[in-house]
């Protein structure tokens, strides 16, 4: 089993070891659940707060990470879950911003 339990170890690689590959991986992990975050307000037909959208993203990511751990594919890590959850929250807040702009335009 492969796992990394140190929180924010990937940012240590970026800032102290200059790893551009890890920076790219972190940013892509943030983008992974943006589409899910965009769909949350559409699915629930209401505004989703930042805490709840972060929680939904974290739970989806936890499911992915646990599958990786159990199936021994990839690396189980907290950083991925936080990055994915942040991306979900970003997608949700982006959709909220778009809704507000469309409502104000009408």
Name the band, by pLDDT with cuts 50, 70 and 90, for residue 2. Answer: confident
3-state secondary structure the chain: CCEECCCCHHHHHHHHHCCHHHHHHHHHHHHHCHHHHHHHHHHHCCCCCHHHHHHHHHHHHHHHHHHHHHHCCCCEEHHHHHHHHHHHHHHHHHHHHHHHHHHHHC
pTM score of the predicted model: 0.91
Q: Is 16 in contact with 71 (CB distance < 8 Å)? A: no
9 Cβ neighbours under 8 A, 6+ residues apart: 77, 79
Q: How far apart are the first and last CA of the chain?
A: 54
Residue range 61-82, pLDDT digits in tens: 999 999 999 999 989 999 999 9
**Domains in the chain: boundaries:** 31-105
Say yes or no to pLDDT of 3 above 90.
Answer: no
Say yes or no to pLDDT of 1 above 80.
Answer: no
Tell me the average pLDDT of the chain.
Answer: 94
The residue among 2 and 92 whose pLDDT is bigger is 92
* 23-34 mean pLDDT: 98
């Amino acid at each position: 089993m492969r796992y990394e339990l140190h929180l924010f170890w990937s940012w240590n690689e970026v800032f102290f070891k200059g790893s551009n590959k890890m920076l790219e991986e972190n940013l892509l992990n943030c983008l992974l659940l943006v589409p899910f975050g965009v769909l949350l307000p559409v699915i629930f037909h209401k505004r989703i707060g930042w805490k709840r959208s972060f929680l939904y993203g974290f739970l989806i990511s936890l499911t992915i990470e646990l599958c990786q751990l159990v199936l021994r594919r990839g690396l189980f890590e907290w950083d991925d879950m936080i990055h994915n959850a942040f991306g979900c929250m970003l997608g949700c807040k982006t959709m909220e911003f778009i809704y507000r702009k469309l409502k104000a335009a009408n």
